[in-house]
Amino acid sequence: MKIPLFLLLFCAAARAGTFVPAPALNYDPTPAALLQDCRDAQKRAASALAGLSSLSQTSRTFDNTPWAFDGILAQLNEDTASGQFLKSVSVSSAVRAAGNDCETEIGKFSIDVFSREDLYKALKDYAAKGEPLRGDAARLLEKQLLDFRRSGLELPREEREQLTLTRKRLTELESRFSRNINESKDSALFTRAEMDGAPEDFVSRLEKADGKYKVTLDYPDYFPFMDNVRVGASRKVLEGKFNNRASRENLPLLGEILTLRKKAARILGYQTHAHYVLEQRMAKDPATVKAFIDRLKKRLRPLAEDELQTLLALKRVFEGKDADPVFRAWDWRFYDNQLKRVRYSVDEQKIREYFPADLVTEQMLEVYQKLLGVKFKRIENGALWHPDVRFYAVSDAASGASGEPFAYFYMDLFPREGKYKHAAAFDLIKGRSLPDGTYRKPVAAIVANFDKPAADRPSLLTHGEVETFFHEFGHIMHQTLTRARFSRFSGSEVARDFVEGPSQMLENWVWDPAVLSSLSGHYQDRSKKLPKEMLDKMIAARNADSGLFNLRQLNFGSIDQLYHTTPPSDTSAAYAKVMKEVFLIPMSEGTHPEAGFGHLMGYDAGYYGYMWSKVYAQDMFSRFEAEGVMNPAIGADYRRKILEVGSSHEEMESLKSFLGREPKEDAFLRSIGLKAD
């Protein structure tokens, strides 16, 4: 691709005299250099692993075997972190492709590592010495031995080799599936009349082609369009394209992926891929997940059915007596938005005028600083991958202005071609103790796709995007405030069905009136805060769609569980069946939403965790509700008992330590307008 001159100049400046928070990070490599660095890192790791393997049994210690093994893999991840990350954020398609190749190679290297008998023997030989280990040291050795067993090291050689080949193939396919979604560039063209209801500032920033307006499938285009355009036929077109992203490429990939995941699980002796995955989650098995989903579906369905009837009635008002009697997938966002306008006088387009992204960022950082006892300082001369990116150092507030940073994070908030399509937090460097007694400073990045600034106004966020911002930054805090000794347990390296809990808890802050007021300021006059009557209406409307919204989450979790317990021959037909049964709204004919369901890679058999962890999130928030949303003492307790420990303890033990009791579902049910049992 041709790179704009301003970016070439920016990259040249970025190489000269800039600060890099870790020596291995390089955001301006050529594709060839990126791949060469990736392969050199693998060679260094292979050499270090050979050295570990060659030690005699009598000379083995915790430091030179389990801890060293953890450190070698951590160093490999550090040495390739920026290369793999650039797959999601680089302006160059060639660099993104190289980053994707590096990620695939590292995945295969990891498979090879955990297929090695000599390394497994090294750990077993150390374990056989029977040295007394406690706490996180005992947990590290236990987890490492389990990792090898789950990689087939107790299997006959032939089956083990078959498993290794299967997993390498999976690594390739999963990487391609994700890349196809990221690289999807489909769009639709509409006349102004076909976009009736779309906000003028939205229309004015759209590109034109053939005398029509080009609407992409990126979130800053898709959501405002679906929320506001009154023409159902237009919404149908865009929803159809959105839920067909990468379908031609990804449908055959998904079928093969599900088959191979089941095959790998069976080789290891697990009934299904879900059984294999859930062994290491808080839920432990598919039966527990099914009971959890069924229990919530039962509670939510009556609420959702009432909401759906209300939305259908509103649809008849808008479209007349000849309106389609079926509530369609392209109807939901629009009529949900209209309901909030009609019943609660909530106008998202008016609200977003009070949330300019720069002000929200500044005030959000202030909230986190006060709550968690930290200080953020922007670094102006940091090495970056794009001019939009901002870079910050993290230090303890108690250390004052001269305090030494203990972590760093980046913010990359606006969309561009080829960039990761959603919002996420990436841990580039994991915090961990080093053999010389120092601590590796963690580095993380929040990546989002908020509305880009325009010539006549700054970037403006919907309240939902403010909530997303708080959520993802909660992950950044989990990743950067860690004090875990080992990389294996660092930051958000917790059980996948708990990883969303800490960040989901922090979504609650954007519903607190005082916090919400501090985050707001009209983009034309920052002194004008979100009016109280508007704020009150937003809070009143918070649970206007809680039944359907939460059933939608359970729908994704149900589909994910189905795919990984009983893989269907027709993934689209299975998706349609589950969606109608759980979400109550039918899947649009001719669409294939599973092809763009990126969480099937990485969250496989684990998407239920969003709802599972939300239950725990609301339970944790109940302490803040009772003792003060901005109570720094509770914030410090949360930082110490949840964020700093990572997975150094069992997640349930950390949760009970913070709560001072067994966890309950009551707070979650109350938060969505239901009575606790």
Q: Which are the catalytic amino acids?
A: 472
Q: How far is CA 522 from CA 201, 431, 592, in A?
A: 15, 39, 40
Q: Is 383 left (phi over 0), alpha (psi -120 to 50) or beta?
A: beta
Three-state secondary-structure class, residue 273: helix
User: Alpha helices of 451-570 — where are they, by DSSP H?
Assistant: 463-480, 501-506, 513-519, 532-540, 546-565
Q: How far is CA 466 from CA 260, 451, 519, in A?
A: 39, 12, 9
Cα gap 18→27, rounded to integer Å: 12
Token pair of 87 as six digits: 């797959």
Question: Nearest CA to 244 among 575, 494, 564?
Answer: 575
Three-state secondary-structure class, residue 100: helix
Dihedrals φ, ψ of 524, to 5°? -90, -20
- Residue found under tokens 């190679």: 105
Cα gap 456→414, rounded to integer Å: 17
Cα gap 296→46, rounded to integer Å: 48
Cα gap 627→500, rounded to integer Å: 23
Token pair of 450 as six digits: 């908020």
Q: Are 370 and 518 in contact (CB under 8 A)?
A: no
Task: Give the distance, in angstroms, between the CA of residue 409 and the centroid of all CA atoms in the same chain.
Answer: 16
Dihedrals φ, ψ of 425, to 5°? -115, 130
Q: Are 123 and 69 in contact (CB under 8 A)?
A: yes
Cα gap 319→200, rounded to integer Å: 23
User: Alpha helices of 16-156 — where are they, by DSSP H?
Assistant: 31-53, 68-89, 93-113, 117-128, 135-150
Burial class of 664 by CB neighbour count within 10 A (0 to 12, 13 to 18, 19+): middle
In degrees to the nearest 10, what's the CA dihedral of 304, 306, 310, 311? Answer: 20
Dihedrals φ, ψ of 164, to 5°? -60, -45
Burial class of 62 by CB neighbour count within 10 A (0 to 12, 13 to 18, 19+): middle
Task: Give the distance, in angstroms, between the CA of residue 213 and the centroid of all CA atoms in the same chain.
Answer: 31
- Total length of the chain: 677
Q: How far is CA 578 from CA 302, 555, 613, 626, in A?
A: 17, 7, 22, 39
Amino acid in the structure at residue 328: R
Cα gap 469→423, rounded to integer Å: 8
